[in-house]
Each structure stands twice: as C-alpha cells, then as structure tokens.
Amino acid sequence: MKPYEHKDIDRKWRERWQADGLYVTREDDPRPTCYTLDMFPYPSGAGLHVGHPKGYIATDVYARYKTMCGYNVLHPMGWDAFGLPAENYALKHKVHPGVAVAENIKRFKEQLTAIGFSYDWEREVNTTDPAFYAWTQWAFVQMFKAGLAYESHEPINWCPGCQTGLANEDLEGGRCERCDSVVEKRPMRQWVLRITAYADRLLADLDALPWPDSVKDMQRNWIGRSEGAEFDFAIEGRTEAIRVFTTRPDTLFGATYVVLAPEHPLLTTLLEACENAAEVAAYRNAAAARTEFERTGAREKTGVVLQGLRAINPANGERIPVWVADYVLASYGTGAIMAVPAHDERDHAFAERYGMPIIKVIEGTDVPAAEPYTGPGKLVNSGPFTGMASDEAKPLIVAHAKGTARVRYRLQDWVFSRQRYWGEPIPIVHCARCGAVPVPEKDLPVTLPDVESYEPTGTGESPLANIPSWVETTCPACGDPARRETNTMPQWAGSSWYYLRYIDPRNGTALVDLAKERQWSPVNVYVGGMEHATRHLIYARFWHKFLYDKGVVSRPEPFERLYTVGIILAEDGRKMSKRWGNVVNPDDMVARMGADALRVYEMFMGPFGQAIAWNTDHMVGARRFLDRVWQLVAKVGEGAGAIDPIVDRTIKKVSEDIESFAFNTAISQLMILVHALEAATVVSRNVYEILVRLLAPFAPHLAEELWERLGHGTSVHREPWPSYREEVLASAEVTVVVQVNGKTRATFRAPADLPADELVARARALPEVVRHSAGGMVLREVVVPGRLVNFVLTAGPRVEKLD
C-alpha cells in the first residue's frame, strides 16, 4: 500500500475545503449554536512558534467535534494589531507599523492555514481596520457620555523606555511589562475609564462563572475589595483635616500617629507650616525616586515627622504626631492612614524603629507581647467601647468619631491614553469654550493619519500632535476652532470587545446586531493564556457589562467556559525565544511530518493546561500513530461486522474527554483502539469508519483522505459524531488507585471490567503520573484489575512511548 504522503494530502484538502466553503458559518441554520474562540494574536514579526497554535488546535478540535455533534459552530480568527508590540517592532525594523502589520498578518495567516484550522475567514477582524475601530471609538464615546471616561491629571505610571503612560495592569513587579524598564510616577494629563464603578459587579458575577478557580482568585485579588471606614483627623490650629481609610475602625483608640503618603496633596500646604520643612521636602523628593514596588517591599520602613503639627484623634481627642512615610501609597485609599502599631505589622515595625507609643486596644489570644495582634478580639483601652467584641464595635466607633463606612478597591481606574502613534485616536475634540466634546457618531471613525515620524516624542504628547492639519479642527458643538485629542488608546482597547464583532463583522450601523448577538452569545468556550487573567479578561468583562447596561448586548458576561493553555517550552526546558536560539518553527514541523502529526502531538503531549517541553522525537511518535491508522485500511473488509465493546468505550471516552479539554487522554484511548484493531485479522468497515470519524477533529486532513478512499463523496467533517451503545457499557464503575514506585499519586474512575492494557493506558495519561514519572523510565506496570495500577520506574531520562 502507498505510504501516507502528508504533503499532497494536506494541500489537496486545504484547497478543497476553501473552494467548498466548508467552514463558512451561516445564521440561517436551525441547529443550536456553539461559539468557540481563541484569544486573537498580535501578528508579531517573529511569526508563530510551535507554542502558539496549541490553544488554537484545541479550539479547532472542539469546534470540529461540536459540528459533528450537530451544532452550528462559530469559530473565527482575527488580529489584535494595535499597540506597543506592533509599534516597537515597526520602529526597530524601520517600517510603517501599518505596513509591518499587513505583512505579519499575511505570514501568520499562511502559518495558521498550513495547520488546517476550520476558521470562517469571512469573519476575520482586525483591530486596526477603521471599519472595526469606528466601533471601539463609538464605545468610548458612549462611556464618555455616561461619565465613565474622564480626563485626569493624577500622577500615573510612566515608562521611560516606551515613552508613554501605562495602566497598572501593564506593570510587572514595578517594571514595564513590554520593555522591562523601571516605571516612574509622572503627573500628566490622561484619559481614564471608570472601571471601579463596575468593581462590585465584576466581583459578584465571578461566583457563578464556570472558570478555573485560579483565574477567578486572581481577579478577586486584583479587584481587592476592602470594607472599612474613613475618618477625619483635624489638625490642631488649622482648618485642614487628614482623611484616612482604615479597615479596622475598631482600633481607632489605638491610633498613635497619622501618616501621609509623600505625594499627598496636603503635604505641600503642611510643609510650610512645619518646623522642619527642608527635611520633609528632601524626604518627599527621595521617595519620588523610589518605585511603588520598592516602597511596599521588605525594605525597612522610613519616614519623617512633621515637627510642630498635631492631629487630633476623633475618638478620644488625643493630640498625635503627623508623619510622612513612603510605606503609605498615594494611590490607595485616601493616601493617608491612622497608624495602630499594636495591631498592624507595618505600623508596628515603624513605631519600634522611631520610638512611637504602642497602645493595645484589642485583647488577642496567644500572641507574644512583642508582636502586633492583627485578629479580632475584645476591646480594651477604648473608652466607652471597652469590653465589646471588635466586630460589634466597628459601626459604633464609626458613628462615635463621625466617620463614614467606605468600600475601597485595589483596582484603580484604567489609564486609557497612550502618548504613542499606533492606536485608535481618542475621539474627542478640545474646545476653549465647550471643553472636551465627543466626536459625533456620524463622524466616526476618526482615522489615524499617516505621519512622517511615528517615533514617540517623550514630551507627554503623541506624534499626532505634530500634524497641525489633523489636529486643527472645529468644535462639533459650537463650531469654533478647536483641537483634536492626540492621545491614542492602549493595546487592550480593541480586544475588550472584538469577540462581539465576529458575530456581525460587516455591520456598518451597529457594533453588533442585537438579534445576532442573542443567537450566538455568550462565547461558549474561550481559550487563551494565563497571562490574560487580570488584564484582558477583566477589561473585556468591564466593557461587556457597560455594553449590557446600554442594551447593546443581551447578557452580563461575555465568556462562559474558559480554558487556559499551558505553554510549550523549548526542548531545553527554557522559554522559547530568539534570544536563546531554541525556537521551533511549526512550518518546519508541518513540512516534515504533516499538519495532522503536529496537531496530534500537541494535543497528546500532556494535560492541556500544563506547561511542557517540546520534543521532536515525540512528534515522530505522533506521526507513526497516524501511519498506523493509514495502514489499517489494508485490513478493512467489506460490509458491517460485529462491534467490540472497546469501540463503544472509545467513543464514550473520546467524547467526554474532548468536552472537558482532556485531549491527551482522548488520544491515548484512540491509540488503544488502533492497537486492538491491528491485532485483528480483519477490521470491519463500519468499525474503521467510526475510527476515522473519531480521529477527524484531531487529524482533519488524514481523516478526510481516508473517508474519500472509503468511497464517500462528502466531507467527514459534516458526518454525525458516532454514538455508543449504553447497554454494552453497563458494567459498574470502580475507583482505580494509581501508584508510581508504590506511592499513591492519583485515583480515577473506570469501568470495572476494563482490560488491563486499557487500564494502564488511562492511568499513564493522568497529569499526576506524567508529573511524577518525569525523569524515570517505566520498567514495568503492576496491574490489579479493577483496583490498582503501579508504575515501576528506573531513574534516568523518561522515554515516552507513544506506540
């Protein structure tokens, strides 16, 4: 029999699918819908490496499977092409970002096409297309009108490398997530989105989302809700008061000093009134040079007292000192605190260092006297509240000291302007008479003009400010001469709503048609990297809720199920990077072994969410598996034969595993089936056809070719998914214990009568077994049917056996 010639087969079917429009999705299709989506890529200059398609392969397997199960599937792809990555690439290679983006998209698309994805390319979106960003701007205008987009002059994060302001979400450990520069604080004019107005709903609606707990917890922490109170500490002999935020109003009687952040606006006024103004000013300037990250780190706390000033504790009228210290952040709460050294760690360390009094007001249990007690307890030294339980005392002390209950968030409003060229222009006109006026909807999009030089200016203005013909305009409200806003939107703007546009990509009169949106929403399965947990996934939820409030969309949450992809490391265990010279290019792999071998390998290499190293030899194993499926055709007899229960078991397992994104165990079950069929003298045609259909989502080209050779004139990808006979799988399920070198590592449920080889194969694919057998080779397996599998390993490198 002819060998499996992947080159011819891959090309033949790609062209045929394209010509037949096999993956074009229609709305006038009565089947239930399923929306399967990948986080769309930045079309970077480096092209794809083998890590990128892993998530795309998974959604493609899922989309093809759901189509065969009878769903009308939406499975689109597009480009997130605005923003710093694209612009930095263009600057480095001295090409216009628009030109670079077009080239990169072309290359990405070729690479993706070579892997055989079932995307409906008629719905392709590109965030840099004016027809797309007209709606990004439209949404901004709606937010402006709703009071959710506003101008601010607060100090923000400034990246000296990228020469632009950044949002908190763009930082990693105090550095720019893009270029790794240490980020500074700079006061500057900027546009900000009031995401905090949605903080409570963003939190509350997390509970019901069937997302991984890890992602939900990251969002909860990022939003960081704190219930507490604000108190005013009057300053003796002056009219100003210092307002503090505390989560522990019950400790107010123990507040022995107050602290202002170095950037606190009141400090400028108080400086003049204190006796050591020069010292305080010097401290403030030194603090400005330290990053927020340094200040909140483990470093010893420092500060300077404002001599001659006294604040008055509103609970008991005590006169207490006022300090400036950089462990208090200007960006949280009110930028000032009441210090309670007996019950707060940071205040305690500070008070010890500077000899401030430590007054215990909560009776703790079992704490060494030298340490602060931070828990709840019975109040002491607290005037009329002494003896009360701390939780009970909270509201009473708030009332007593004329405070107000307050909820604060760690989440801050979203700094939404960038002083860079390659972004959506913010659709605002500044008029001397009318102020900031939104561009009328009929005049959208405000297109990004071509410029000679798109290098960042570093002045706090974007390069757009250098184009008078573009900047100078008239006020939409009064007709006076006015100036356009020259800041652009951040790279996260387009991605905050793009998934809606695939539903209705060419709509010229609405962001999305509501009836179509109702038909397809929400995205049923969304797949992408963990790095988006607190960025894109919070931003998109915020925009979506806003659009929901506006009646633009019909549901409050955009994404139903979410799966995070484990990254593929290089063969040396490091991250794939040009810098290390360890990048594996999918084009080479596809050329050598075929698109289907790449697909099967990436789905088989380990549990989907787990990081795992690439190994070309293992991909060879995946290719061999496909060769064996190919060769099985020679054994196929005519007509239908009896079906062994292993076929039913395989259908059940592969279906359930695809549904739960356990692709590796689905493939190992297919391998078990192929193994069993190889052992038979004849394979009946109906059984082989079941195998081909089960394999179709994973190996679409090969399956299609085999399907044709079996005499079918229609695509296997339009065939119904095979069903299994419940009655032959009626045997009870048991719990099987899995050990590695005699240590129990996992358990799983399996049919009681599962043959030993299948039991072993299922056990071997468990993530715990993969993890605990790394570095050893399986010498033998001990199987107690229906009870236990024990893998006995050698030390030394693990040899993954695929066949």
Q: Is 99 in the site for Zn ion (CB under 5 A)?
A: no
Helices (H) and strands (E) in the chain, counts: 26, 33
Quote the least distance from Cβ 479 to Zn ion, whole Å.
7
Name the residue nearer to Zn ion (CB basis): 398 or 475.
475
Task: Please report how close the Cβ of residue 298 comes to ligand ANZ at its closest, in angstroms.
Answer: 15
Q: Choose from Zn ion, ligand ANZ, none: what does 338 bind? Cβ within 5-8 Å by kind.
A: ligand ANZ
What angle (nearest 5°) sits at the alpha carbon of residue 223, between those of residues 542 and 557? 30
Give the nearer residue to ligand ANZ in terms of CB position, either 300 or 727: 300
Q: Which one of 434, 584, 710, 792 is in contact with Zn ion (CB under 5 A)?
A: 434
- Contact string 340-369 vs ligand ANZ (x = CB under 6 A): x--xx-------------------------
Asked if 615 touches ligand ANZ (CB under 6 A), the answer is no
**Member of 333, 438, 445, 594 binding ligand ANZ (CB under 6 A):** 333
Compute the least distance from the CB of residue 408 to ligand ANZ, in Å.
6
Q: In angstroms, what is the minimal distance from the CB of 441 to Zn ion?
A: 18
Tokens 């694209």 correspond to: 86
Six token digits for residue 496 = 């905050």
Hunting for tokens 């939190």 — which residue is that? Answer: 203
475 binds, among Zn ion, ligand ANZ, none (CB under 5 to 8 A by kind): Zn ion
DSSP string, 654-671: HHHHHHTT-HHHHHHHHH
8 Å CB contact between 276 and 307: yes
Coil, strand or helix at 417: coil
Nearer to ligand ANZ, 328 or 672 (CB): 328
Does 302 sit near ligand ANZ (CB under 6 A)?
A: no
493 binds, among Zn ion, ligand ANZ, none (CB under 5 to 8 A by kind): none
- Select the residue interacting with Zn ion from 24, 99, 286, 478 (CB under 5 A): 478
Contact 486, 461 (CB under 8 A): yes
**Site size for ligand ANZ, by CB under 6 A?**
18
Residue 164's contacts (CB-CB under 8 Å, 6 or more residues apart) are 84, 158, 418, 419, 420, 456
CB-nearer residue toward ligand ANZ: 217 or 571: 217
Backbone angles phi, psi at 358, to 5 degrees: -120, 110
Q: Which residue, 473 or 582, has its beta carbon nearer to Zn ion?
A: 473
For residue 522, is the peptide bond before it cis, meaning its omega torsion is within 30 degrees of 0? Answer: yes
CA distance 111 to 52: 11
Nearest to 250 by CA among 233, 232, 235, 231: 231
Q: What is the DSSP string of 537-557?
A: HHHHHHHHHHHHHTTSSS-S-
First to last CA, the chain: 21
Beta bridge partners of residue 227, listed in sequence order: 407
User: Tokens 């979106």 appear where?
Assistant: 125
**Which of 698, 700, 697, 706 minimizes the C-alpha distance to 633?**
706
Exposure string for 34-44, b = 16+ CB within 10 A, e = fewer: bbbbbbbbbbb
x/- contact string, 380-419, with ligand ANZ (CB under 6 A)?
Answer: ----------------------------x-----------
Nearest distance from residue 317's CB to ligand ANZ, in Å? 18
Compute the least distance from the CB of residue 396 to ligand ANZ, in Å. Answer: 17
Shortest approach of Zn ion to residue 143 CB, angstroms?
Answer: 21
Of the listed pieces 215-223, 359-367, 475-483, 495-503, which binds Zn ion according to CB under 5 A? Answer: 475-483
Q: To the nearest whole angstrom, how small is the minimum distance from the Cβ of residue 253 to ligand ANZ? A: 11
Q: Does 288 bind Zn ion (CB under 5 A)?
A: no
- Residue 348 touches which of Zn ion, ligand ANZ, none (Cβ within 5-8 Å per kind): none
Instruction: Tell me the closest approach of the beta carbon of residue 343 to ligand ANZ, in angstroms.
Output: 3
Q: Kindly tell me which residue out of 92, 93, 433, 718 binds Zn ion, with binding defined by CB under 5 A.
A: 433
Task: Choose, by CB under 6 A, the member of 42, 144, 158, 245 that binds ligand ANZ.
Answer: 245
Alpha-carbon distance of 526 to 528, in angstroms, equals 7
User: Please, what is the minimum distance in Å from the beta carbon of residue 332 to ligand ANZ?
Assistant: 4
Distance CA 112, CA 117 (A): 7
Give the interface segment with Zn ion, choosing from 58-66, 433-441, 442-450, 770-778 (CB under 5 A).
Answer: 433-441
Nearer CB in complex with ligand ANZ: 304/337: 337
CB of 280 to ligand ANZ, least distance (A): 18
C-beta of residue 802 within 8 angstroms of C-beta of residue 597: no
* Shortest Å distance, C-beta 137 to Zn ion: 19
Q: State the amino acid at position 466 in one-letter form.
A: N
Q: Tell me: does residue 618 bind ligand ANZ (CB under 6 A).
A: no
Q: Which two tokens stand for residue 143?
A: 């937010």
Distance (Å, whole) CA 133 – CA 127: 6
Q: Which does 602 bind (CB under 5 to 8 A by kind): ligand ANZ, Zn ion, none?
A: none
Backbone angles phi, psi at 712, to 5 degrees: -90, 140
Are the CB atoms for 262 and 271 separated by under 8 Å? no
Instruction: Tell whether residue 337 is a contact of ligand ANZ (CB under 6 A).
Output: yes
What is the token pair recorded at 372? 């602060």
Does residue 251 interact with ligand ANZ by CB under 6 A?
Answer: yes
Structure tokens at 439: 């561009």
Shortest gap between Cβ of 342 and Zn ion (angstroms)? 57
**Interaction partner, residue 433 (ligand ANZ, Zn ion, none; CB < 5-8 Å by kind):** Zn ion
Q: Which of 775, 590, 733 is nearest to 649 (CA)?
A: 733
Residues binding Zn ion: number (CB under 5 A): 7
Binding mask 403-432 for Zn ion (x = CB under 5 A): ----------------------------x-
Give the closest residue to 18 by CA, choosing from 118, 135, 115, 147: 118
Kindly state the smallest distance separating residue 381's Cβ from ligand ANZ, in Å.
13
Minimum distance, C-beta of residue 252 to ligand ANZ, in the bound complex (Å): 8
Per CB under 6 A, the list member of 113, 247, 316, 386 interacting with ligand ANZ is 247
Bond prior to 785 in cis (omega within 30° of 0): no
Please name which of 52, 117, 39 lies closest in space to residue 79, comparing C-alpha atoms. Answer: 39
Tell me the CB-side half-sphere exposure of residue 768, using CA atoms within 13 A. Answer: 14
Quick one: what does residue 335 bind among ligand ANZ, Zn ion, none, with the CB cut-off 5 to 8 Å set by partner type? Answer: ligand ANZ
Half-sphere exposure of 665 (CA within 13 A, CB side): 26
Task: Assess 653 for contact with ligand ANZ (CB under 6 A).
Answer: no
Six-digit token pair at 246?
């505390």
Q: How many Cβ atoms sit within 10 Å of the Cβ of residue 664? A: 23
Sign of CA dihedral 316, 320, 322, 327: negative
Quickly tell me which residue has 């000013």 as its tokens: 281
Residue with smaller CB distance to Zn ion, 480 or 803: 480
Residues with Cβ within 8 Å of 381's Cβ and at least 6 positions away in sequence, in order, are 253, 254, 359, 360, 361
Choose among Zn ion, ligand ANZ, none what residue 434 binds, the Cβ cut-off being 5 to 8 Å by kind. Answer: Zn ion
Q: Is 203 in the site for ligand ANZ (CB under 6 A)?
A: no
195 contributes a contact to ligand ANZ by CB under 6 A? no
Which residue from 67, 72, 136, 246 is in contact with ligand ANZ, where contact means CB under 6 A? 246
Question: Minimum distance from CB of 373 to ligand ANZ (Å)?
Answer: 8
Residues binding ligand ANZ (CB under 6 A): 226, 245-248, 251, 261, 328-329, 332-333, 335, 337-338, 340, 343-344, 408
